[in-house]
């Protein structure tokens, strides 16, 4: 059966294994950033609302890159922001916290919602409320073993870590049961963006893709 709507987007995230979390000082170069990541094999990017001009950047990125990339919005704190980002073109919504109104708004537009949670109670509450994936944040506090411990009694969960994911730990997170990985500054390096070193960003993206393949035994 062919997946459609938000189910297709979630499947794309899981298949990719990587979500680039982009926190930039300016929106000017975000299309180039997303394109460079795509060229390296990372075709799922999350533009955070903490970036100045984030909504316009999301609009430009989805307009220019089309189906080549899955562009989402991150750092969403309320339903109004989720709606504005979706109308600007965001294809999925990520939040640092659990907000039931944000979940409802994303699903109203048939977009995946990935709320943040930390404790087992918060995680299962998010999942039961309809989360398509649950972002364990900040994941670096506990490490990959925490995923193993949480998934042991609740194997139905789809978890993704944000915080503490880099080239040395990415494989460990996947082996611990992560559905995909949220990767921020260790992939989307500000010095590469500042110097417009798109080739360097593409090369780094390829390294992360290789780690994912290796961890999955591909």
Percent of the chain residues topping a pLDDT of 70: 99
Please tell me which residue in 122, 135, 158, 196 is annotated as part of the active site: 135
Return d(Cα 55, Cα 35) in angstroms, integer. Answer: 18
The pLDDT value recorded for residue 3 is 84
Residue 79 has pLDDT above 80, yes or no: yes
Indicate the range of 34-43, 60-69, 81-90 predicted with least confidence. 60-69
For residues 167-182, average pLDDT: 98
pLDDT reported for residue 83: 98
Q: How far apart are CA 158 and CA 179, in angstroms?
A: 6
Res 103 pLDDT > 80: yes
pLDDT at 95 over 70: yes
Of 14, 46, 111, 190, the catalytic one is: 46
User: Mean pLDDT score of the chain, rounded to an integer?
Assistant: 96
Write the pLDDT tens digit of every residue in 111-138: 999 999 999 999 999 999 999 999 999 9
Contacts of 54-57 with C-beta under 8 Å, sequence gap 24+, read: 54/27, 54/85, 55/84, 55/85, 55/88, 56/27, 56/88, 57/27, 57/30, 57/31
Distance, CA of 49 to CA of 55 (rounded, Å):
8
Angstrom distance (rounded) from CA 196 to CA 180: 27
135 part of the active site: yes
**pLDDT band at residue 218 under the 50/70/90 scheme:** low
- H-helix segments, the chain: 5-16, 30-39, 54-65, 79-88, 100-108, 120-128, 144-151, 170-175, 190-194, 198-215
| CATH homologous superfamily of 5-211 | Aldolase class I (3.20.20.70)
Please compute the mean of the pLDDT values over residues 87-92 and round it to a whole number.
98
SS (H, E, C) 37-74: HHHCCCCEEEEECCCCCHHHHHHHHHHHHHHHCEEEEE
d(CA 171, CA 175): 6
- Res 67 pLDDT > 90: no
Domain segments of the chain: what residues? 5-211
| pLDDT at residue number 91 | 98
The answer to whether 46 is a known catalytic residue is yes
């Amino acid at each position: 059966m062919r997946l459609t709507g938000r189910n297709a987007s979630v499947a794309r995230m899981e298949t990719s294994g990587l979500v680039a979390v982009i926190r930039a000082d300016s929106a000017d170069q975000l299309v180039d950033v997303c394109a460079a990541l795509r060229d390296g094999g990372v075709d799922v990017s999350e533009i955070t609302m903490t970036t100045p001009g984030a909504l316009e950047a999301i609009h430009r990125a989805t307009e220019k890159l089309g189906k080549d990339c899955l562009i989402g919005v991150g750092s969403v704190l309320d339903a109004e922001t989720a709606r504005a980002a979706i109308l600007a073109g965001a294809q999925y919504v990520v939040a640092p916290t659990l907000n039931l109104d944000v979940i409802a708004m994303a699903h109203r537009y048939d977009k995946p919602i990935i709320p943040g949670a930390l404790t087992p109670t918060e995680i299962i509450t998010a999942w039961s409320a309809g989360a398509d994936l649950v972002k364990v944040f900040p994941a670096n506090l506990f490490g990959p073993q925490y995923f193993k411990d949480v998934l042991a009694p609740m194997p139905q969960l789809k978890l993704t870590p944000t915080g503490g994911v880099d080239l040395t730990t990415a494989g460990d997170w996947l082996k611990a049961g992560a559905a995909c990985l949220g990767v921020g500054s260790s992939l989307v390096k500000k010095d590469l963006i500042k110097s417009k070193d798109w080739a360097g960003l593409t090369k780094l993206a390829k390294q992360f893709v290789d780690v994912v393949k290796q961890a999955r035994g591909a």
